[in-house]
Structure 1
Amino acid sequence: MFKKSHIIKTSLSKEEIIAILQTKVENFHRENSKFDFEGNVNLSGEINIKPTFDYGPREQFRPEILGKIHGNQMDLEFQLSAMMKKVLWIIILIEPLFIGFVYFKTQDKQVLLFFPFLIVFMVIFKFTFDSKVKKAITLLESYFK
């Protein structure tokens, strides 16, 4: 659900792609930085970066971008950060327990309305993640036109 693959093809060589990416990626995000991504692009063509274009309170929604450069194309995979995966699993596992506990203590049917909250939360979370992935793809593709 929170994983997306994308391939970027270009007419540039592997070395040119790496050189361009290395000018756009810094090791660690610094305040007032002009870099678009933080992470690592090594000379063998392995990519492990995160976007910094909207770094701030919502940074936890930034996708991790893992990839490999093969000739004139980049195979990319976008996924949630490890911390957000843990938070998501905790929410998914604890909410039904919470709802069950409250329901059996109060016998109030309105408590069951928490289930739609979980669904709405997941949908909003998915749209936010997809939006950030799309923005990162657009930015990466713009480097190689």
Structure 2
Amino acid sequence: MFKKLHTIKSKLSNEEIIAILQAKVENFHRDNSKFDFEGNVNLSGEINIKPTFDYGPRNQFRPEISGKIHSNQVDLVFDLSSIMKKVLWFIILVEPLFILFIYTKIQEKQVLLFFPFLIVFILILKFTFDSKVKKSITLLESYFK
């Protein structure tokens, strides 16, 4: 659900692609930075980066981008951070138990409305993640035109 695969094809050589990405990626995000991504792009073509274009309070939904450069193309995997995955699993597992516990104590059907809230909450997170992935793909593709 929170994992996307994407391939960028280019007419540039592997070395040119690596050089372009290294020029666009800084090791660690700094205040007032002009870089769009932070992370690492090594000379063997392995990529481990995160976008910084919307760095702020909601940066926990930034996709972790890993990938490999080979045969004049960049294969990318966009994934949610491992901490956020654990938080989401915790919410998904604990909320139904909490709702059932509350329901057995007070016997009111309004408590069951928390189930749709959980679904809406996860959908909002998915749309937020997908929009950040789409913006990252657009930026990365613009580097190789």
Inter-partner Cα distance in structure 1 for 2:56 and 2:12: 33
Aligned to 1:26: 26
**1:117 correspondence with 2:117:** yes
Uncovered stretches (5+) of structure 1, i.e. residues with no partner: none
**Secondary structure of the residue that 1:43 maps to in structure 2?**
coil
Cα-to-partner distance string for 1:48-96 (whole Å, 9 max, x where unaligned): 0000000000100100001000120000000001111011011101100
Aligned to 1:41: 41
Inter-partner Cα distance in structure 1 for 2:23 and 2:53: 15
Inter-partner Cα distance in structure 1 for 2:118 and 2:95: 8
User: What's the offset of the Cα at 1:41?
Assistant: 0.3
Sequence identity (%)? 82
Inter-partner Cα distance in structure 2 for 1:79 and 1:121: 18
Cα-to-partner distance string for 1:9-41 (whole Å, 9 max, x where unaligned): 000000000000000000100011000000000
TM-score of the superposed pair, with normalisation by structure 1: 0.99
Inter-partner Cα distance in structure 1 for 2:65 and 2:101: 39
One-letter code aligned to 2:96: P
Aligned to 2:130: 130
Inter-partner Cα distance in structure 2 for 1:127 and 1:59: 14
User: What's the offset of the Cα at 1:129?
Assistant: 0.3
Cα-to-partner distance string for 1:102-125 (whole Å, 9 max, x where unaligned): 000001111000000000001111
Inter-partner Cα distance in structure 1 for 2:81 and 2:30: 19
**Secondary structure of the residue that 2:35 maps to in structure 1?**
coil
Aligned to 2:91: 91
User: What's the offset of the Cα at 1:42?
Assistant: 0.3
The Cα RMSD (Å) is 0.4
TM-score of the superposed pair, with normalisation by structure 2: 0.99
**1:10 correspondence with 2:10:** yes
Q: Displaced runs of 4+ in structure 1, greater than 2 A?
A: none
